[in-house]
């Protein structure tokens, strides 16, 4: 029952994100609205991490499975993708390296700040 409650909390934020996407004239995906609201509620203590932790960990564990339909769709669209394959690969490689670098730097800064707080 606890697992179901956690999923319902996450689904509530997804639904609010969908609602905001319809109401606001910005080109922002509904999932981004939902995640930002969840982040804000976690940050302000409105939602406690324990209220969503197990469901979030489960979703992270099964994330690779969620990419299977997208991968199959890509193989079915090979004729459309073939002319732009080289630019797409370059963009993917560059952005992957950039995301990894930024994530590493942010993590290091957060860990450095965390150790300073403990001292």
Residue 59 buriedness (CB in 10 A; 0-12 / 13-18 / 19+): middle
Q: Domain residue spans in the chain?
A: 1-65, 83-119
User: What confidence score (pLDDT) does residue 29 get?
Assistant: 95
Give the pLDDT score at 42.
Answer: 95
* Band of pLDDT at residue 87, cut at 50, 70 and 90: very high
pLDDT reading at 118 higher than 80 = no
- pLDDT reading at 40 higher than 80: yes
Q: Tell me the three state secondary structure of residue 47.
A: coil
% the chain with pLDDT above 90: 78
Q: Please give the pLDDT value at position 74.
A: 84
Query: Burial level of 83, CB count in 10 A (0-12/13-18/19+)?
Result: exposed
Structure tokens at 58: 């489960």
Residue 116 has pLDDT above 80, yes or no: no
Using the predicted structure, report yes or no on whether residue 113 has a pLDDT greater than 80.
no
Mean pLDDT score, 58-77: 90
What is the reported pTM?
0.66
- Phi/psi zone of residue 45: left (φ > 0), alpha (ψ -120 to 50 degrees), beta? left
Q: Measured between alpha carbons, how far is 79 from 87 in angstroms, rounded to an integer?
A: 15
């Amino acid at each position: 029952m606890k697992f179901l409650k956690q999923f319902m909390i996450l689904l509530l934020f997804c639904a609010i994100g969908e609602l905001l996407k319809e109401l606001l004239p910005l080109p922002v995906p509904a999932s981004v609205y939902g995640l930002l609201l969840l982040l804000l509620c976690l940050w302000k203590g409105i939602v406690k991490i324990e209220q969503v932790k197990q469901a979030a960990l489960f979703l992270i564990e099964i994330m690779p499975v969620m990419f299977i339909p997208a991968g199959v769709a890509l193989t079915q669209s090979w004729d459309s993708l073939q002319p732009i394959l080289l630019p797409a690969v370059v963009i993917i490689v560059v952005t992957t390296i950039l995301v990894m670098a930024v994530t590493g730097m942010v993590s290091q800064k957060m860990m450095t700040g965390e150790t300073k707080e403990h001292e």
